[in-house]
Chain A
Amino acid sequence: MKRTLSISLILALMVTALLTGCSSGSSKTITFWTPLTGDDGAYMDQLVKDYNATNPEYKVKHIVTSDMYTKISTVMNTGKGVPDLAIIHADRVPGFVKQGLLEPMTNILASQPEIKQENYLPQAWSTGTIDGTQYTVPLDIHSNVMYYNKDLLKKYNAESFLDDNVVTIDEMLSLKGKLDEGDYVVNDALIGWVMLAELQNEGGDVEKDGKPTVDTPEMKKAYEEVKKIADAGLMTPFGEDGYLMFQGGHVLFSTDGTWSSTAHAKVQGLNFGVTNVYSTTADKFTNRASSHLFAMLKNDKRTDEKEQGIGKFLEFIRENSIEWAKAGQIVASNKVNQSPEFKNYMQSFFTSNEQEIQSLHIYTYEYYPYVAEAVDKYSADIIRGNVDLDETLKTMQKYVEDKIAEAGKGTK
Chain B
Amino acid sequence: MNKKVFTLYLFVGPHLILFAVFIFLPTIFGIYASFTHWNLMNNPVWAGLDNYKTILFDSGSTFHTQFLNGLKNTFIFVVLSVPLLIVIPLLIAVALEHKKVKFKGVIQSILYIPGLISVSAAALIWLLIFNKQLGITGNVFGSTVAWPANQPYAWIIILVLSVWGGVGGNMIIYRASINGVAQDLYEAAAIDGAGPLRKFISVTLPSIRFPLIYTFVMTTAASFNVFAQPLMMTKGGPRQSTQVLMMDIRQLAFGSGESIAGMASAMAVLLGLVILVISALQYYVMNRNAS
Q: Which residues of A are in contact with B by a Cβ distance under 8 Å?
A: 67, 69-70, 73, 76-77, 89, 91-92, 95, 99, 101, 237-241, 244-245, 248, 250, 367-370, 372-373, 377, 380-381, 386-387, 395, 398-399, 402-403, 406-407, 409-412
Given contacts A95-B258, A248-B133, contact A410 B239 (CB under 8 A): no
A99 to B42, CA, bound (A): 7
Cβ of A369 and Cβ of B37 under 8 Å apart? Answer: no
Cβ of B257 and Cβ of A370 under 8 Å apart? Answer: yes
Smallest distance from the beta carbon of A74 to chain B beta carbons, Å?
8
Cβ of B257 and Cβ of A369 under 8 Å apart? Answer: yes
- List 22 A–B pairs whose Cβ atoms lie within 8 Å, in order of A's numbering: A67-B254, A101-B41, A239-B146, A239-B150, A240-B131, A248-B133, A250-B133, A373-B255, A373-B256, A373-B257, A380-B237, A381-B239, A386-B238, A387-B239, A395-B62, A398-B62, A407-B258, A407-B259, A409-B37, A409-B262, A410-B39, A412-B37
A387 to B45, CA, bound (A): 38
For A381, list chain B residues within 8 Å (CB): 237-239
With an 8 A cutoff between CB atoms, is B199 at the interface?
A: no
For A410, list chain B residues within 8 Å (CB): 36-39, 42, 44-45, 258-262
> Chain B 116-157, CB within 8 Å of chain A: the 1/0 string?
000000000001000111100000000000111110000000
Of the candidates A76, A370, A386, A402, the one whose C-beta lies within 8 Å of that of B61 is A402
User: Whose C-beta in chain A lies nearest to the C-beta of B63?
Assistant: A402
For A73, list chain B residues within 8 Å (CB): 40-41, 259
For B149, list chain A residues within 8 Å (CB): 237-240
Cβ of A238 and Cβ of B238 under 8 Å apart? Answer: yes
Cβ of A240 and Cβ of B132 under 8 Å apart? Answer: yes
With an 8 A cutoff between CB atoms, is B47 at the interface?
A: yes
User: Whose C-beta in chain A lies nearest to the C-beta of B60?
Assistant: A398
For B133, list chain A residues within 8 Å (CB): 240-241, 244-245, 248, 250
Give the interface SS of chain A, mostly helix, strand, loop or mixed. helix
Cβ of A95 and Cβ of B239 under 8 Å apart? Answer: no
A377 to B66, CA, bound (A): 12
For B44, list chain A residues within 8 Å (CB): 410
Interface range for B: 35 or more
User: Whose C-beta in chain B lies nearest to the C-beta of A69?
Assistant: B254
Cβ of B238 and Cβ of A403 under 8 Å apart? Answer: no
With an 8 A cutoff between CB atoms, is B251 at the interface?
A: yes
For A239, list chain B residues within 8 Å (CB): 146-150, 237-238
Smallest distance from the beta carbon of A83 to chain B beta carbons, Å?
16
For A369, list chain B residues within 8 Å (CB): 255-258
CB-CB contacts below 8 Å: B225-273 with A: 236-240, 251, 254-263
Given pairs A381-B239, A412-B37, 11 additional interface contacts (CB within 8 A): A77-B40, A95-B257, A240-B131, A240-B133, A367-B257, A373-B256, A377-B236, A410-B261, A410-B262, A411-B39, A411-B42
Smallest distance from the beta carbon of B208 to chain A beta carbons, Å?
38
Cβ of A412 and Cβ of B146 under 8 Å apart? Answer: no
The CB with the most chain B CB atoms within 10 A, among A91, A99, A407, A410, is that of A410
Cβ of A406 and Cβ of B260 under 8 Å apart? Answer: yes
For B36, list chain A residues within 8 Å (CB): 410
For A76, list chain B residues within 8 Å (CB): 41
For A402, list chain B residues within 8 Å (CB): 61-63
A84 to B36, CA, bound (A): 31
A27 to B61, CA, bound (A): 49
For B41, list chain A residues within 8 Å (CB): 73, 76-77, 99, 101
Closest 10 CB pairs of A and B: A239-B149, A239-B146, A369-B257, A409-B37, A410-B39, A73-B40, A402-B62, A369-B256, A410-B37, A407-B258
Smallest distance from the beta carbon of A214 to chain B beta carbons, Å?
12
A50 to B257, CA, bound (A): 34
For B239, list chain A residues within 8 Å (CB): 381, 386-387
